[in-house]
Chains A and B, each alone.
Chain A
Amino acid sequence: MISFELLVSVTIAVLVAMGVYLVLRARTFPVVLGLSLISYAVNLFLFSMGRLEVGSPPILQDGVEVYTDPLPQALVLTAIVIGFGMTAFSIILAVKAYVELGSDHVDGEEP
């Protein structure tokens, strides 16, 4: 049987692995992409701490008793925005470093 839990776990694993590989590259741009991939994974991971529910969003309605956990959602929403801030900051940092140093190698100089 395929379960959503399995699918999401595999997704997280793949995203982390791909993200880590990119983070280990020598140029700044792939590192930023890798960070984004890892952010997706982390957000999914945090989100999944509230377990996976289908069709029960935490929007209160009369007569509905079952809601999914809103707390991880609130946390992840914050995390997405902060993650965006980080991505923006690091990509601009990469641009600035390239402009100042003439190289986009992570060590700041061509090997």
Chain B
Amino acid sequence: MTMLLIVLLPFLAIGPVWFAARFSRNASFYVAATTTGLGLGLLASLVPEVMAGNVFVDSWPWIERIGLNIAFRMDGLAMLFCILILGIGLMVVIYAKFYLTEDDPIGPFYAMLMTFMGAMLGVVTSENLLLLAMFWELTSISSFLLIGYWRHLPAARQGARLALMITGSGGLFLLAGVLLLQEITGSLELSVVLASGPQILDHDLYWAALICVLMGAFTKSAQFPFHFWLPNAMTAPTPVSAYLHSATMVKAGVFLLARLHPAMSGSPEWFFLVTGAGLTTLAFAAYVALFKHDLKGLLAYSTISHLGIITACLGMSTKWATIAAVFHIMNHAAFKASLFMSAGIVDHECGTRDARLLSGLRHSMPITFGLATLGALAMGGAPFFNGFLSKEMFFKEAYTLSQAHPYWPDAEYWAWIFPVVATVGGLFSVAYSVRFIHDVFFGPEAHDLPKHPHDPPFGMWLPVAILVAVCVVVGVVPMYTAESFLYATASPVTGYDMPEALHLHWWHGLVPELYMTLVAIAAGIGVYTQWKKIAAIGDKLPTIVGKDFFESFIEMLIEGARALDRLVDNQSLQRYMAYTISFATLAGFMAYIEEGWQSGTGVQTPASLVSLVPVILLIAGAFMTDFFQRKRLVSLIFMSVVGLIVSLMFIYFSAPDLGLTQISVEVVTVLLLLLALFVLPQWNPVESGWLRRSRDILVAASAGIGVGALAWGVMTRQQQTIADYYLAESLPKGGGTNVVNVILVDFRGFDTMGEVSVLALASVGIIVMLTGKKPLYPNQVMPFPEERFPLMLTSVTRVLVPTALLVAFYIFMRGHNLPGGGFIAGLVAVVALAMQFVASGLDWTKGRFKLDLVRLSAIGVLLAVGTGLAAFVWGRPFLTSGMLHLHPPGIGEVHIASAMAFDTGVFLVVVGSLVLIIRRLSRYQQTMEVQDKAGGNE
């Protein structure tokens, strides 16, 4: 529980910290500092137990199906990192309060910092690897936000993007690696994974898992060749650089290596990959650091180099090398964070951090000078400082490797590469440490700085002082301060395979590592005195700037994607359609090929020769629709033939409701399309060549054959109906004998309600489209015929319309028991009214039919919903229907089901929407006609 609280606390503080900033900067600061302090306090309650060698694991199930649990693990390694995150976090929170100016919004800053803190705590305490990967990505995101904190600076935005791209994609590799580990061990829990070391090493997937995990670690810890994002991340405010990009986040990579060390190390692959990356990074970055003029740039490359040391140690993977790695993690965090803050102070007080401009600051900034010098001594690995101790251990292991190594027994003199590279790295490390101090604080006092330098306020140097004190105390008396702590923290990394006892001393006698240190210090100072000459030589060498390389790579990717895009996409909808349909057809045929298409063996219904007639008519109609597609009116008429025969087919195959619906829909559709043709052109120009047409014919034919074959395959097989329930319960429960209608308004009333809503919505959409901008191309509109409405039609409709409406009413009333119902009745009424429009004109009809159609369909929808809700009154679920059987004299038995009210709603919606659409469309082209005339007059 405590662990969960430690991780959750920073996340809980995000809101308050941000909110408090509305009142004052101090309030926000106090909330952030209190949260961090509270976390430290909670952590302290666990420390004694962990020091005693206990491991806590707490687990709550989350998504068990994929093995994701909210599980935390507190052991020595996790504790070390928690102390770093919270301890240095507290320093940074204090420091940032003084560092940020009044113009920098402090609320978002602390909120992001808290997010990062929580994410980082999550990474180091996760017991579940998937959870770890999740927190891992969260650290990348919060790092992105913090690097880009000064979002008005282009460099900050670029740096943030670069960092996110590199560490984010590394995170994806990590995710893949984690899943591979799950594949190998069958679990995502660290307890299981850490215990299955041999199983992992023997597995065929070990290579893949290792590469993925290493990609995650190397990108995060800025190991060569993924190092270049880190220097570019130095555009972040200095507290961020000190916290994320030296002490904690970049350590997540080495944390991962350390965490999985017991499970994945012990193979030649691990040794060569990890040690190789570490040593390359160490020497290369130390060399580059010397020539950086920007203090933060220098420190950034120094950080990369020191991460290289840690990586190399973990790669060597001997007992003592592993201990050295853990030791160097804490030492580096202490001295590098202090140095970053010192650089920040210099930047803050002088207005620049360019080593070429700065000089002689020891006079104006004595406190900063003292603290920075002590930090730099630790960084350079001078005796009596913590950096010296871990570096000595590293040198010793590197030397041991030159003598013999299990994975490289026949190396001979090549094995000397380990101590030599280590010493070269150490040498440059000394050189840049000296440069950092000498260039900035010694020499003649600079007078042309942007600001007048002086020591910062107490709150700004206090965190530095605390960290430097740690460096010195650990360096001088390691046996009292660090021994047992290191023992507890390194145990999990070595897999609890520790030496009998740790003895940390800064004097081991005249041993090889001492000579290596001496050589490094002497040569390092020598190199520093000559660094400008060396830089001149370095400038002549061709340089590969990682950032440029990466950016051109991204550029190439984008270009490639664009080229591919241009290849398939020419902005033509026709082409999209052809591709989409082709792929859908292809996918269907794939199934045929894979499973084999077979005709069924069910009983077929024999058809008489006469039945061929309508089918042939239909096929001919369909063909003609396509054949005459250039003459739109003709094409439309042929299509209506198809619709008519489809209705007949429904009626013939025992679906009278469908037949009635289809035929009335048909009438309305054709009417609408005709009205549209008044506006749209009458002809299609010839546009596609024979190639395009043949392609389309091929696509169309295969789609048709595919669907037809599917229909045939299904129909010739025996059916398993699921409708018995409806047939059996239609009368007792739904109170109607027309099962289709009862299903629509009762059993599946909810679907129907959705459907009428869709219809109402479609009509609303249509109204919206037909209002607003009026046609601008009236010359393309077909003129209305001048002659009046035909007398015959007008006279006949006068009688016909009331009759038709009566029929609609009849169909509506009988719908529950015989073919009919709200839909069909509505459509019939619409057809009747439409006929009136055609015969007598819009205005005549409107004068006699004064209904607000929008309101009508709205009432319809409400009625349908209301009927459903009424069921609640009787304590029944939504849309439960009720029934009433009445016996009025003279008429016989009358059923009144509540479904009838529902059906009325459907009826109203259908009538309201459709009449509205027809009327608006007619009016639309009428307005055009008016415009046409107006245009002609001018």
A residues within 8 Å of B by Cβ?
Answer: 1-30, 32-33, 36-37, 40-41, 43-45, 47-61, 67-71, 73-74, 76-78, 80-89, 91-96, 98-100, 102, 104, 106-107, 111
Contacts and interface: CB of A to CB of B under 8 A. Distances in A.
B380 interface: no
Contact residues of B: prevailing secondary structure: helix
27 contacts: A3-B604, A4-B605, A4-B611, A4-B653, A7-B615, A8-B649, A10-B615, A11-B615, A11-B619, A11-B649, A13-B705, A18-B625, A50-B719, A50-B721, A54-B652, A60-B731, A70-B740, A71-B723, A74-B740, A77-B744, A84-B665, A84-B668, A84-B669, A85-B758, A92-B769, A99-B774, A102-B777
Contacts of B924: 95
A16 B708 contact: yes
A73 B770 contact: no
A43 B643 CA distance: 11
Interface in B861-915: 910, 914
Count chain A CB atoms within 10 A of each CB in B623, B629, B701, B759 and give the residue with the most: B629
The bracket for how many chain B residues form the interface is: 35 or more
Contacts of A43: 646, 658, 662
Contacts of B740: 58, 70, 73-74, 77
A86 B738 CA distance: 27
A14 B657 CA distance: 25
B755 A100 contact: no
Interface of B: 571-574, 577-578, 581, 604-607, 609, 611-612, 615, 618-619, 622-623, 625-626, 629, 632, 635-636, 639, 642-643, 646, 649-650, 652-658, 661-662, 665, 668-669, 672-673, 676-677, 679-681, 684-685, 687-688, 696-697, 699-701, 703-705, 707-712, 714-716, 719, 721-723, 726-727, 730-731, 737-740, 743-744, 748, 751-752, 755, 758-759, 762-763, 765-766, 769-770, 773-777, 817-819, 823, 910, 914, 917, 921, 924
The 5 closest A-B pairs by CB, nearest first: A13-B708, A17-B704, A3-B604, A9-B712, A21-B700
Specify which of B646, B722, B758 lies most central, judged by the most chain A CB atoms within 10 Å of its CB.
B646
Contacts of B684: 25-27, 29-30
B696 A5 contact: no
B715 A8 contact: yes
A29 B658 CA distance: 26
Contact of B723 (A56, A69, A111): A69
B711 A94 contact: no
Given A73-B658, A99-B679, A41 B707 contact: yes
Contact of A93 (B687, B769, B777): B769
B719 A51 contact: yes
A44 B646 contact: yes
Contacts of B714: 48-49
Taking each of B615, B654, B716, B775, which has the highest tally of chain A beta carbons within 10 Å of its own beta carbon?
B654
A94 B245 CA distance: 57
A89 B636 contact: no
Given A24-B577, A33-B635, A45 B711 contact: yes
B611 A7 contact: yes
B639 A37 contact: yes
Nearest to A67: B727
Contacts of B629: 22, 25, 30, 33
B866 to A, nearest CB: 21
Given A2-B609, A9-B711, A92-B676, A82 B719 contact: no
Contacts of A45: 707, 710-711
Summarize A's interface: helix, strand, loop or mixed: helix
Contacts of B758: 82, 85
Contacts of A88: 669, 672, 762-763, 766, 914, 917
A1 to B, nearest CB: 6
Contacts of B652: 54
A8 B650 CA distance: 11
B623 A77 contact: no
A9 B706 CA distance: 10
Given A5-B716, A12-B708, A59 B738 contact: yes
A70 B606 contact: no
Contacts of A14: 618-619, 622-623, 704, 708
A33 B727 contact: no
Contact of A3 (B607, B632, B657, B672): B607
Contacts of B677: 29
A61 B699 CA distance: 47
Nearest to B767: A92
A48 B600 CA distance: 14
Given A7-B611, A111-B687, 20 more contacts: A2-B611, A4-B605, A11-B619, A15-B642, A18-B623, A24-B574, A25-B574, A27-B684, A30-B635, A33-B673, A36-B669, A43-B662, A71-B723, A80-B661, A91-B676, A92-B770, A99-B775, A100-B776, A102-B776, A107-B572
B344 to A, nearest CB: 56
A61 B726 CA distance: 14
B72 to A, nearest CB: 51
B704 A16 contact: yes
Nearest to A89: B762
Contacts of A80: 658, 661-662, 665
A5 B823 contact: no
A13 to B, nearest CB: 3
A81 B604 contact: no
A73 B655 contact: yes
Contacts of B618: 11, 14
B107 to A, nearest CB: 47
Contacts of A27: 681, 684-685
B680 A28 contact: yes
A87 B618 CA distance: 20
Given A43-B646, A52-B653, A2 B622 contact: no
Given A14-B619, A56-B654, A60-B727, A92 B642 contact: no
A77 B658 contact: yes
Given A71-B723, A77-B740, A78-B751, A2 B707 contact: no
A74 B765 CA distance: 26
Given A4-B605, A6-B712, A82-B759, A47 B672 contact: no
Contacts of A56: 654
A45 to B, nearest CB: 5
Q: Specify which of A28, A41, A49 lies most central, judged by the most chain B CB atoms within 10 Å of its CB.
A: A41
A38 to B, nearest CB: 9
Given A9-B711, A48-B714, A54-B605, A29 B676 contact: yes
